[in-house]
Structure formats: C-alpha cells, structure tokens
Structure 1
Amino acid sequence: MTDQPTALDEVVQICQDLIAFDTSNFGDGSGPGERKAAEYVVGQFEEVGLEPVIIESDPGRASVVVRIPGEDSDRGALVVHGHLDVVPATASDWQVDPFGAEIKDGCIWGRGAVDMKDMDAMIIANVRELARTGRKPARDLVIALFADEEAGGAKGSHHLVANHPELFEGATEAISEVGGYSITFPNAAGREQRAYLLQSAEKGLAWLTLRATGRAGHGSVPNPDNAVMHLAQALTRISEHPWPRQYGATVRALLDGLAQLSGRSYTDEDPEPVLELLGSTRGFVDATLQDTVNATMLDAGYKHNVIPQTATAGIDCRFLPGHEEELMATLRDLAGEHITIETVHRDIAVEAPYDTDLVEAMKRSLLAEDPEAAILPYCLSAGTDNKALSLLGIKGYGFTPLRLPADLDFAAMFHGVDERVPVDSLLFGTRVLGRLLQDC
C-alpha cells in the first residue's frame, strides 16, 4: 500500500502552483482576477473529499470557503484565511519571471511568495492532510481564501462578510498573514536570540482624495486662486506636520519584551536602543509608533498654459487604534479652506487580546519547533482581511509562521522586487501550522 502524501510532501509544489497563477490586483478592476487560482484551490479540496464553495463578487473576483468540523463544535470556530490576489510585478525589474515560481538559492521566487501564497499553500497542504487522515482539528475550522485583499477587500472579505455572514457562523477568532515570522538579535548574554512576532493589532487605514478648487485662467497671468498651488501648499503642510509619537499597549509590550531579552533599556523619548534590534523589520514597527500620512497620487491640468480649476492628490493615512477621529480632524485643519477631503476607502484599526487560549496555542506550536525562541506581540502598520472579519465580532491575529535566516531582508519582500520565501521556512511554517490546527 502506498503511503499517503503529507503536508510537507505537497506544500512546496502547491506554493509554486499558486504563484504561477497571475492574480495581479491593480485596484481598478482591470486585472485577471482570482477565478483560475480559486478553481485550483477548489480542486485541491475536492480531491480529498471536501465540499468548498466559490463566491464571486464580480465576474472573475473569486473567493473560496470550506468548513471543517472539529472535535468540539460547541467551541467558537477558528477562521484560517489567506488571500489569492497579489500586487502587480514588472517582469523587467526581476531576476526571474515573477510568475515562474522558480526555486533558486534555496528559495521559491515569485510574486506572492510571502504575500501571501506561502501561507495559502501551508493552509491547503495541512487541510488536505487532515482530510486524508480523517483527523479532526480541535474545533471547527472555516478555511477562507479571499479575493481583493490588496485593494482593501471590497470584492473579497468585505463582500463575504456583508453578503454571506452565515459562512462564518459561530466563528470567534481568526489567523492570517504578517505575523509569526522570526527576527534575530543579540540577547543579554551576547548570544543570538530568535524571536517570533505574533501580530495582535493593526492600524486602521483611510485612502483619501484631496480636491483643491480655484479659478481657471491663462498660464501667463498671475492668479492667487490657483488650485495647483492650493494643493501643493496643503500637501506641504501635511508632510511637515509632526505626528506625535504614541505607545499603544501592543507596541509597548513589544518594546518591553525586546528590552528584557536584550538587556537594553529605552525611554519614550529615545526608543532607539531596542528599535535597532529589529533589523529590516524595523520599518514595520516604526510605522506603529505614530499615525502616518503619505501622498501617493497627483492629478491636475491638461496643458502648460492653462491654470486648471481643480487639482487632486491621493493620500494614504494609517491610524493607530482609537485615533481615527483625531487624525481626520488634524487633516482637515492642515488641508485648509480651499481643499475638500473625499474618502475613497477606509477600514478600522483592530486590537485583539493577547492573553487567550489561542495565543497560547500559537506559542506552543512555535516552541515545539523552536524551543529556545521568544514570542512577542506586535502591531501591523498595514492591514489584513481580519478587519472585515472583526465586523462579525471575530478577533484576528497575524500568524504565518516562518523561521527566517538572520540575514534575509524580509520586510523588503512585501510588494518588493525579487520576492521570495526560503523553502526551509515554508516547511517550518507547515509543521507549526499543522500543530496549531490540532491544538487550537
């Protein structure tokens, strides 16, 4: 009798298969969509006797959901979710075909290798093993692979939460991306210390359009009511505004944990001694010490000698839990009288409790594979589909477990050129996730 393949046998190929589907999300509906990748996922699940459903919000914008009964269905179900879309990639910038899923230098290369088809593959491989063996997870699992996360989830997680909440009936907690990965730094004894960052909070987001209005006119004539200048002045005020440093509970716990492990001290005025321990991950954490606003798009005029009546800018605002109203009020003051502010997309900040049975189960699953490691909470500066699930009262965490080489610039992999995930890290994560699903 031939032995059944395990999750470890399959996860690398599944990850490569997923990367090979171009699911680029341009944010304007012009991309290829997720349907082909979703059909592949459905095939993987149906092959082992599961009954997933595909839900489309628009033609081609497809999400997959399947429910797996657990040993104790009276407990709240756990949503284990990923997303199938990726940000676009310009092939000429890469060393390899971004959708070639090539294995090179011990890594799987390709768009989505860390954001987040690696976790998708871990989920699929472990679910297939559960189904083949007949083993039940500790509690009901709701497995969801969403569309459209890279554009805020309106065509994916938010669509399902609004239109198909029954799929998540009874769910109380969720795990997804951008947490559970390792950093390495010298500890108080001078030895290398590996710590895993378990994401338990996310900043909120507001994608806004600043619209300046003024008087149209000839480019050769002085015009104090110039919409372009009004916009430029508003952007300058916003750019130069010193957003105050804030230490939320999750950020404080991270910094205190780093200080204890390293033997270093820090103050609110000077957190540098512990921040520098974070290496390439520091950018993620720096952004959670304050609210942030960045200009990302500009549009004005149609001819050099015509002063336009309007000018617009797109800005990306990220706010800490509880800070949305304060940020918006500050922006209105900075923008000034000639500017109106239009909301294109907004989503909430979330913060989940850290003293829970699920967090303890995540810790156990990591320490079983890496016993000398430390585990610390952190706040994500970006957002995940946990925001949508929170509208159903589901507490979300970032847990894509990866034991990473100390010299890998992991933060640069997210939306970056030459995105890649070490094969050994993928196998480690598959083992950890498999343990968690049995122990959650």
Structure 2
Amino acid sequence: MSEIRNFEDEAIRICQDLIRIPSVNFGEGRGDEEAVANYIVASLAEVGIEAKIYESAPKRCNVIARIKGSNPDKPGLVVHGHIDVVPANAAEWSVDPFAGEIKDGCIWGRGAVDMKNLDAMILAIVRDWAQRGYVPERDIVLAFFADEEAGMTFGSRWMTANHPEVFAGCSEAISEVGGFSVTVADGKRLYFIEAAQKGIHWMKLTAQGRAGHGSMMNDENALTTLTEAVAKIGRYEWPQRYTKTVKDLFKEVARVTGKAYDEKDLRPLLKEIGSTARMIGATLQNTANPTMLEAGYKANVIPGTASAVIDGRFLPGYEAELNETVRAIVGPDILIETISHDIALEVDFDAPLVDAMKAAILAHDPEGIPVPYLMSGGTDNKALSEIGIVGYGFSPLRLPADLDFMSLFHGVDERVPIDGLRFGVRVLNDFLESC
C-alpha cells in the first residue's frame, strides 16, 4: 500500500508543479511550452528515462520518450497529453490560477482538468516503473504535445507530419477526457470513455454591400445582410442524428435508470446525466454557433463589407449535411471561407484495449459501469488517427456526484478533486500494466 500511496502523492505533487508553470496558449501561434517541456524532460531524466524535445517553432515544444516493452511483437501504445493551457483572467478567479493551490479537497489552477492532471498521472506512473524496474509488455510512447488548445498546428499535427518515426510500431493511443464518472439514478456511476469526436469546420461568412453615409437609405447594407444570415444560423434547429456511439451510450443510460429508450428521440434521457448533458446534448446533432462579428469603423458610415465567424461541429458521417445546410441558410450571395477544419472520429468500443480499460475501472469501482461516449470537441487523437493510430479518451477520474465537471474545462476556478486524482492514477496504472 505504501508503494501505491507514493505514486498517488507523486501525481498530486507533479500536478501542482505543472500548474505553476504557465504554459499559456493565446492562439495564432502565440504560445510557450518551453518551461513545462523542460520540467518533463528533467522529471523523466531523474529516474533514467531519456526524453527529447521537438521544437516546432521558438518555444513551441513537444516532448517524446519511448519506454521499451518486453514483447517486441506487440504493437506499441501512445500515451499522450497536451502541455498548453488556455489563458486565465486572475481577476475572475477566487485563487491564483497558476499557484496550484490545494483547497477544499481539490487542486486548483489553470490546467488542473485540461489537462495537467493526466500529464501528472502519466509522469508519476512511469517514474514509479523506472524506480522499481517494471517493464511493460508493449512499447509505451510518451507524447506531451504543444498547441492542442489552438488547432494542434505546432503540436501533434507538426509531429505526425515531420516526425512520424517517433510513433513507429504503435497502433493505439489514449489521452484526455475519458474514464470520468457521471452519477445517475440511485447513485450508479457511469464511466464515460471517449470513443468518438465531432469534426470541426470554422467558417468565415462575408457579405458585400454598398458603402455609404449612415443618414441615408441603403437597401444594400452588408451588415444587415450578414446579421440576418447569422441570426438564421444561430436559431436553426438541427435534426437529430445518432451515431453508433451515441446509441450505445443512451441504451446504457436507459437501462441503468429504468427509463424508456426511444431511438427516434434520445433527448428525454439527457436529464438523467445531470450537468454532463450540456456537452452530450451537442453530440445528438450537428451544431453551428456564431462566435464573432466584424464590420464598420465609424458610427455614421455604412460599411461595404461585414463578416462573421461560425463554429461548426459535425458528427461522424454528417459533414456534408453541415456544410450544405449552412450554405442553404445564408444563400448564394454570402461568401463562405474555411478558417479551420478537422476530421470527426468514431472507433470500435468492442476492442481488447477497451476491455483493459473496463477491467481497470471495475477493479477499483466494482459497481462502476463503463460506457462509450461521443465528445463534442476534439483531441490530439485526430492527428494520430491520420497516421493509422486508433485513439481513445481515457484519463480516469472518480468524481463527486454534484460536481459540474464539464464547466471546469476552460472555466473559472478550474480544479480537480484529489480523491479523484488518486483513483485515476491507480486505474491508469493498472490499465497500462495490463494492456
């Protein structure tokens, strides 16, 4: 028990250390992962694990290490996390977002949930392996990526394009946002394992019109044309579209709660999963949310052009529907340009790797119920999938029933429960030693 306690405590310490290194990604290439990358390399070197930094641009750093397994015939596993975090406005927080403070049974700070908690668990486990001479059966490639929070351009995308050799021999991967508990009826705990992700299509809409004086009549006002289209997109009711992953999740929700399962409309079951419904609800359909507007330079000048940004997210298999619907809504006279695009993913939940995840969870929570889910956002698994690596979200946490976990991602007062982290590092260790 002392050995387990040691790497649990290590995970807590390392998580605090990582939070205290502000690796903020401001987007548009403005980020700095250098200090946190150096910390990871030093942490691994301390126990004899060699790691290498791959710098994609000044201060944009990725870290790779390979732990050789005992069976060279078994494909390797990529265990990856990102080391950048989104900005935090300290004035909005009740604690210093970069202090790694422990309060009310949680570690507080930017990155505590997204995702320095998993980075810490990975480091604590492999440091423990090295210190006790444990050798896994398969090769384990540790990857700590830059730039996940701003499109992966300087992180996993750059690594897979420029250094695919570091992933040679690997067939599967695990990373963030999966294996966390959601408490439903009668205190039953579902553990959501990420097996699918929506795709991304960020679009810029531009309307052209006739510039003129603000005091005059103008029936070719670009801003009017644009905002009418944006309002239609924002209010559009997207049809329900259910993928296999979504159906499998809600069949379990219905079974566990004793509620009716109606495949024509799964929305009534959303209330059974509490605050997680905000994210899961977005996986029942495509979405397109207006996020930015730009037009004009003076109060009495009608602009000749106006633009808006739409955050489009499509389900696996429904990209064409998203694009065709947006075009039909805005009409032929508004220009649509792609700002950013990324693929959707859906992988097999009936797989030996998933069986190992389930077994590890049940070993530490025999009443737990592992289930697949589709994530409304995306992870670095998208980049790895393009070099043939099948990825899942598995960063286990047992969470308090009343914790609004999804609101902590990019949120004010981000924090991770210490008991959940202790649970997670035990489960993750068992999984990695058995897979």
| Structure 2 length-normalised TM | 0.97
How many angstroms does 1:13 deviate by?
Answer: 0.8
How many angstroms does 1:272 deviate by?
Answer: 4.4
- Deviation readout 1:282-326 (Å, 9 max, x if unpaired): 111100000000011111111011111111111111100011122
Q: Is the 8 A contact 1:297 1:314 kept in 2?
A: yes
How many angstroms does 1:73 deviate by?
Answer: 2.2
The answer as to 2:327 corresponding to 1:332 is yes
How many angstroms does 1:29 deviate by?
Answer: 2.7
Give the corresponding residue for 1:258: 253
What is the identity, as a one-letter code, of the residue corresponding to 1:344? Answer: I
The answer as to 2:141 corresponding to 1:142 is yes
Counting only pairs closer than 5 Å after superposition, residues 282-361 of structure 1 correspond to structure 2 as 282-361=277-356
What is the identity, as a one-letter code, of the residue corresponding to 1:431? Answer: R
What is the identity, as a one-letter code, of the residue corresponding to 1:175? Answer: I
Structure 1: runs of 5+ lacking an equivalent: none
Distance 1:428 1:164 in 2: 34
Distance 2:19 2:117 in 1: 9
Distance 1:67 1:315 in 2: 40
**Which of residues 397, 404, 413 in structure 2 aligns to 1:409?**
404
Distance 1:5 1:63 in 2: 30
**Which of residues 383, 386, 403 in structure 2 aligns to 1:388?**
383
What is the identity, as a one-letter code, of the residue corresponding to 1:11? Answer: A
How many angstroms does 1:173 deviate by?
Answer: 0.7
Give the corresponding residue for 2:40: 41
SS of 2:113 mapped into structure 1: coil
Q: Is the 8 A contact 1:91 1:97 kept in 2?
A: yes
Counting only pairs closer than 5 Å after superposition, residues 43-58 of structure 1 correspond to structure 2 as 43-58=42-57
Counting only pairs closer than 5 Å after superposition, residues 54-203 of structure 1 correspond to structure 2 as 54-186=53-185, 191-203=186-198
How many angstroms does 1:123 deviate by?
Answer: 0.6
Q: Is the 8 A contact 1:214 1:338 kept in 2?
A: no
Give the corresponding residue for 1:12: 12
Distance 1:4 1:378, change over 3 A: closer
How many angstroms does 1:240 deviate by?
Answer: 2.4
Distance 1:44 1:4, change over 3 A: farther
Q: Is the 8 A contact 2:247 2:263 kept in 1?
A: no
SS of 1:344 mapped into structure 2: strand
- Deviation readout 1:161-187 (Å, 9 max, x if unpaired): 11110011111111001110001112x
SS of 1:138 mapped into structure 2: coil
Distance 1:424 1:9 in 2: 11
- Deviation readout 1:234-282 (Å, 9 max, x if unpaired): 1022122221001110000000011111111132454344211111111
Distance 1:81 1:148 in 2: 13
Distance 1:392 1:84 in 2: 22
Distance 2:165 2:3 in 1: 37
What is the identity, as a one-letter code, of the residue corresponding to 1:225? Answer: E
Distance 1:317 1:22 in 2: 30
Q: Is the 8 A contact 2:267 2:281 kept in 1?
A: no
- Deviation readout 1:347-392 (Å, 9 max, x if unpaired): 1000110111100000111111111111111000100000000001
Q: Is the 8 A contact 2:4 2:426 kept in 1?
A: no
- Decide which moves more: 430-439 or 257-266: 257-266
The answer as to 2:424 corresponding to 1:425 is no
Distance 2:405 2:273 in 1: 11
Structure 2: runs of 5+ lacking an equivalent: none
Distance 1:47 1:422 in 2: 27
The answer as to 2:230 corresponding to 1:238 is no
Give the corresponding residue for 1:29: 29
Q: Is the 8 A contact 1:264 1:273 kept in 2?
A: no
- Deviation readout 1:386-415 (Å, 9 max, x if unpaired): 000000111110101000011111111111
Distance 1:265 1:74, change over 3 A: same
Cα RMSD for the two superposed structures: 1.5
Aligned identity (percent) is: 55
- Decide which moves more: 328-337 or 2-11: 2-11
Give the corresponding residue for 2:215: 220
SS of 1:435 mapped into structure 2: helix
Distance 1:199 1:131 in 2: 29
SS of 1:360 mapped into structure 2: helix
Distance 1:147 1:59 in 2: 12
Distance 1:256 1:305 in 2: 57
What is the identity, as a one-letter code, of the residue corresponding to 2:169? Answer: G
Q: Is the 8 A contact 2:233 2:290 kept in 1?
A: no
How many angstroms does 1:83 deviate by?
Answer: 0.4
- Deviation readout 1:207-250 (Å, 9 max, x if unpaired): 11111111211111211111111110110221222210011100
What is the identity, as a one-letter code, of the residue corresponding to 2:407? Answer: A
Distance 1:215 1:86, change over 3 A: same
